[in-house]
């Protein structure tokens, strides 16, 4: 079930006031579950922590019901309601699914 809170709104950098998002990420394919924290890498890909102990990664141009290009989850990750996220290190090339 997709919850109304399983949604990410993206606004232009110079947005101010009562503005409409330039794009939104939402829907069953996104695998978003009460998204909490966001981070962008050097190529504009979006990393999102979720309340189901996962991190989802979206292409820089992801919109609507976009599937993540990568998902980090499972007991081995040690993720438990991740409350922060950071991207570190040099760019090593494109992320592949």
| Tokens of residue 61, six digits | 């141009």
Does the residue 94 lie in any domain? no
Does the residue 88 lie in any domain? no
Domain count, the chain: 1
The position carrying tokens 């609507």 is 64
User: Which residues span the domain enclosing 63?
Assistant: 7-77
Does the residue 90 lie in any domain? no
Residue 95 CB neighbour total at 10 angstroms: 13
- The predicted pLDDT at position 97 comes to 47
For the whole prediction, is pTM greater than 0.85?
no
Question: pLDDT by residue for the chain (97 residues), tens digit each?
Answer: 556 668 999 899 899 999 999 999 999 999 999 999 999 888 889 999 999 999 999 999 999 999 999 999 999 999 999 888 988 866 666 555 4
Does the residue 97 lie in any domain? no
């Amino acid at each position: 079930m997709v919850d109304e809170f399983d949604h990410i709104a993206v606004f232009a950098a110079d947005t101010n006031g009562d503005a409409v998002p330039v794009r939104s990420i939402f829907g069953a394919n996104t695998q978003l579950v009460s998204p909490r924290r966001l981070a962008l890498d050097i190529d504009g890909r979006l990393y999102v922590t979720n309340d189901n102990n996962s991190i989802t990664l979206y292409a820089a141009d992801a919109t609507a019901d976009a599937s993540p290009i990568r998902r980090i989850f499972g007991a081995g990750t040690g993720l438990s309601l991740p409350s922060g996220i950071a991207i570190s290190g040099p760019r090593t090339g494109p992320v592949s699914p």
